[in-house]
């Protein structure tokens, strides 16, 4: 997994609440058996018009967001289907981090497993970020070592993150490898009680 | 000893050991696998030269992308075929049992787990699918996971988790005639919002829950995720045990007696503390119909489409206005004045035998409206066979419905079963997101009886006033 320590990039604002994973990647793109190659179909139904051309009304297509690596989203981002393809699409598009007032549980977990940082900030700070965006300030720095988001226009915010999630991201850990090292405990557990069905 | 919730008890019993930095390593008793969210996980195992630790606790089926009509062993969609072939190959290579398209057990993963007796009280169950919460109806801790976690469970039979919070939802009073489990859960989500239970495991309790059949309890738990919950569960009781007894993978003989004793202890202690509690009077719930683009945007069938101007915040007003534009609806339109083009009775939410029976009872003796195309997709081959034995398929086909093979079908439209842009559908599924049933399609979530009545009337009607011809 790609590690995340400090990242500076362009922030694209998509201030809509309850963006579900069906919007992030529609069902017709879930038939592939690979983990990569989903960037072009991210937000497919919103991003392209019926002829397949970029829809100018969709925020991500705005020229100021070209090359964006940080997404500023609304509350409950990533709700609905557990499809990890949603995170693969965001990552393949180039996003390294998503900032929102809240995230859906499975989506946030999936982000973590793919080196995509989810930053939860309170509504007041999200509003500040949106004001910066309106004022043409599009760059932000996210420091996971310090748990801080900062940028021009005197923006500075601290965020909380579960300590183990933070370590996994900082070090790009292979979680399966770590759990496999607990083989003795897992085997002992299986011995002590009848497991399964 | 501290009083514990049902969730605490199952959690504690599955703790293998403490994980790093405050996390827990949790043992998984049953891992259900399907074709769409597993290929990358098996490929990950292959690349790392890892095995499936417990193929005996892993079961696979094909459900998401498969056709529900024609010769199902020949998949015309090349991408779907590749994915189906990948699951067959992975199951062979890693020794995982597969209920293939020609198997009598095949069906939607959350329908077949319970009907085979794989889903049992007190167990931990995961699947790469958010509606895994369905299995909580048996007093199991069951939740959806992403593909990376699917790979983690395949390799280790464990998950590294942080313990979620707990929420008690009490449905008090008795549910009225014509009001179903679907209406209870839609009413709850409309009240708490689609992120109302984020980070929580819900335990459903109260007289209205106790009165539900097992299949109805599954409908309630199934949609826990639509309220944002990690899982939903109901303490097992006689209804649970009666359902399970004699099923293929359920304990038999002495093992059954022993299991029953253990299961009887699976309930929250009277003094157990929940992080939050929600009370709902089931007696006041009417049949629900969603009007918007998420499951929380719902109203009683006696109500009307709300006015976005009455939203509580700018962001809610924007969401409501956006939803109404997408749905092609005007504020203050009576729900009963909304006409439908399509009716879909199916999905892991509402495609079990009782759902099919309830729809058939409404349809019996009627023809569906000339302007409506209706489709019944049983949740499994077992449901399909049982319904056919009762002659229900004839009630539907004589009324003008299509009677299909089992699969996820138009709940998510990964196969050919899809809405066309602008088509309006009464659906017994679980999500009315934009484009969920087909790009531009408009979904209204309802119970099977409400969907059947809408098919006959060509618009939504209050099924409580239905004239049954049986």
Closest CA to B77 of B346, B381, B414, B402: B414
Over chain A, what is the mean pLDDT?
95
pLDDT of residue A195: 57
Report CB contact under 8 Å: A82, B145. yes
pLDDT over threshold 90, residue A192: no
H-helix or E-strand containing B262? Answer: helix B253-264
pLDDT of residue B390: 98
Q: What is the pLDDT of residues B161-218, one digit of tens each?
A: 999 999 999 999 999 999 999 999 999 999 999 999 999 999 999 999 999 999 999 9
**How far apart (Å, rounded) are the C-alpha atoms in residues B182 and B290?**
11
Average confidence (pLDDT) over B32-40: 98
Quick one: tokens of B437?
A: 């049933």
- Among A168, A175, A177, A188, most B C-beta atoms within 10 A, so best to mutate, is A175
Q: Does A158 touch chain B (CB under 8 A)?
A: no
pLDDT over threshold 70, residue A197: no
**Interface pTM (ipTM) of the complex?**
0.96
DSSP string, chain A: ----SEEEEEEEEE--SS-BHHHHS-GGGS---SSS--GGGTTHHHHB-TTSSBPTTSGGGSGGGTT--EEEE-TTBTBS---THHHHHHHHHT--EEEES-B-HHHHHHHHHTTPEEEE--HHHHHHHHHHHHTT--EEEEETTTTEEEETTTEEEE----HHHHHHHHHT--HHHHHHTTHHHHHHHHHHS----
pLDDT of residue B329: 98
Average confidence (pLDDT) over B35-58: 97
Q: What is the pLDDT of residues B395-432, one digit of tens each?
A: 999 999 999 999 999 999 999 999 999 999 999 999 99
Q: Does A197 touch chain B (CB under 8 A)?
A: yes
Q: Which residues contact B448 (CB under 8 A, 6 or more apart)?
A: B180, B182, B345, B350, B355, B356, B358, B359, B428
Nearest to A33 among B82, B149, B164 (CB): B82
Q: What is the pLDDT of residues B50-108, one digit of tens each?
A: 999 999 999 999 999 999 998 898 899 999 999 999 999 999 999 999 999 999 999 99
Q: Which residues contact B124 (CB under 8 A, 6 or more apart)?
A: B10, B14, B26, B27, B28, B29, B30, B140, B141, B142
What percent of chain B lies above the pLDDT cut of 90?
98
Q: What is the pLDDT of residues A114-134, one digit of tens each?
A: 999 999 999 999 999 999 999
Please give the angle made by the CA atoms of B197, B201 and B206, to the nearest 5 degrees.
Answer: 90
Report CB contact under 8 Å: A31, B57. no
| Long-range pairs, B243-246, Cβ under 8 A, ≥24 | B243/B114, B243/B214, B244/B117, B244/B120, B244/B138
H-helix or E-strand containing B299? Answer: strand B298-300
Q: What is the pLDDT of residues A132-178, one digit of tens each?
A: 999 999 999 999 999 999 999 899 999 999 999 999 999 999 899 99
Nearest to A186 among B16, B86, B146 (CB): B16
Distances (CA, A) of B79 to B383, B407, B447: 28, 17, 33
Q: What is the pLDDT of residues B110-159, one digit of tens each?
A: 999 999 999 999 999 999 999 999 999 999 999 999 999 999 999 999 99
**SS3 (DSSP) at B150:** helix
Q: What is the pLDDT of residues B3-20, one digit of tens each?
A: 999 999 999 999 999 998
pLDDT of residue B336: 97
**How far apart (Å, rounded) are the C-alpha atoms in residues B112 and B13?**
25
Chain A CB contacts of B164 under 8 Å are 105
Q: Does A26 touch chain B (CB under 8 A)?
A: yes
Quick one: tokens of A135?
A: 């004022």
pLDDT of residue B79: 94
């Amino acid at each position: 997994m790609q590690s995340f320590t400090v990242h500076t990039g362009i922030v694209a604002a998509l201030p809509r609440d309850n963006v579900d994973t069906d919007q992030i990647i529609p069902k017709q793109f879930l038939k592939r058996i690979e983990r990569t190659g989903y960037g072009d179909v991210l937000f497919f139904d919103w991003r392209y018009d019926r002829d397949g051309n970029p829809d100018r009304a969709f925020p991500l297509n705005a020229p100021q967001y070209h090359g964006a690596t940080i997404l500023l989203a609304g509350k409950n981002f990533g709700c609905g289907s557990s499809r990890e393809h949603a995170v693969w699409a965001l990552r393949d598009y180039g996003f390294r981090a998503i900032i929102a007032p809240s995230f859906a549980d499975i989506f946030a977990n999936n982000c973590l497993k793919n080196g995509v940082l989810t930053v939860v900030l309170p509504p007041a700070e999200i509003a500040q970020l949106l004001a910066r965006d309106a004022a043409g300030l599009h760059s932000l720095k996210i420091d996971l070592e310090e748990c801080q988001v900062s940028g021009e226009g005197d923006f500075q915010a601290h965020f909380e993150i579960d300590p183990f999630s933070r370590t996994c991201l900082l070090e790009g850990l292979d979680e399966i490898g770590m759990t496999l090292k607990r083989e003795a405990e897992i085997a002992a557990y299986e011995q002590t009680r009848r497991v399964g069905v | 000893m501290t009083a514990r919730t049902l969730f605490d008890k199952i959690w504690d019993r599955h703790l293998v050991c403490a994980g790093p930095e405050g996390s827990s390593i949790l043992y998984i008793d049953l891992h259900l696998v399907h074709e769409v969210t597993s290929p990358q996980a098996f490929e990950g195992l292959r690349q790392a030269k890892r095995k499936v630790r417990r193929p005996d606790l892993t079961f696979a089926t094909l459900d998401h992308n498969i056709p529900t009509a024609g010769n199902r062993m020949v998949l015309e969609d090349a991408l779907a075929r590749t994915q189906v072939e990948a699951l067959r190959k992975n199951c062979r290579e890693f020794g995982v049992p597969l209920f293939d398209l020609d198997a009598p057990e095949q069906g939607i993963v959350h329908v077949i787990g319970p009907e085979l007796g794989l889903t049992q009280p007190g167990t931990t169950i995961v699947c790469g699918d958010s509606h895994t919460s369905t299995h909580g109806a048996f007093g199991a801790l069951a939740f959806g996971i992403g593909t990376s976690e699917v790979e983690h469970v395949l390799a280790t039979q464990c998950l590294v988790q942080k313990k979620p919070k707990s929420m008690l939802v009490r449905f008090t009073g008795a549910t009225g005639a014509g009001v179903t489990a679907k209406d209870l859960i839609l009413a709850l989500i409309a009240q708490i919002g689609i992120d109302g239970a984020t980070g929580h495991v819900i335990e459903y309790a109260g007289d209205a829950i106790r009165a539900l059949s097992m299949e109805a309890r599954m409908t309630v738990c199934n949609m826990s995720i639509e309220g944002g919950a990690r899982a939903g569960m109901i303490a097992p009781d006689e209804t649970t045990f009666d359902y399970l007894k004699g099923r293929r993978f359920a304990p038999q003989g002495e093992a059954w007696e022993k299991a029953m004793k253990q299961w009887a202890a699976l309930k929250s202690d009277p003094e157990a503390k929940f992080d939050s509690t929600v009370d709902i009077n089931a007696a006041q719930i009417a049949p629900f119909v969603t009007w918007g683009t998420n499951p929380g945007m719902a109203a009683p069938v006696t109500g009307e489409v709300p006015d976005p101007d009455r939203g509580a915040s700018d962001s809610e007003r924007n969401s409501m206005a956006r939803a109404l534009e997408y749905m092609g609806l005007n504020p203050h339109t009576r729900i009963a004045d909304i006409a439908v083009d399509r009716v879909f009775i199916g999905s892991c939410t509402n495609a079990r035998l009782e759902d099919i029976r309830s729809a058939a009872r409404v349809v019996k003796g009627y023809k569906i409206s000339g302007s409506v195309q209706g489709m019944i997709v049983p949740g499994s081959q077992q449901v399909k066979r049982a319904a056919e034995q009762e002659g229900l398929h004839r009630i539907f086909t004589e009324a003008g419905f299509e009677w299909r093979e089992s699969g996820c079908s138009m709940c998510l439209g990964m196969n050919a079963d899809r809405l066309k842009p602008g088509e309006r559908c009464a659906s017994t599924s679980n999500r009315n997101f934009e484009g969920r049933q087909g790009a531009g399609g408009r979904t209204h979530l309802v119970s099977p009886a409400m969907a059947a009545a809408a098919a006959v009337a060509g618009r939504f009607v209050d099924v409580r006033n239905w004239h049954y011809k049986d």
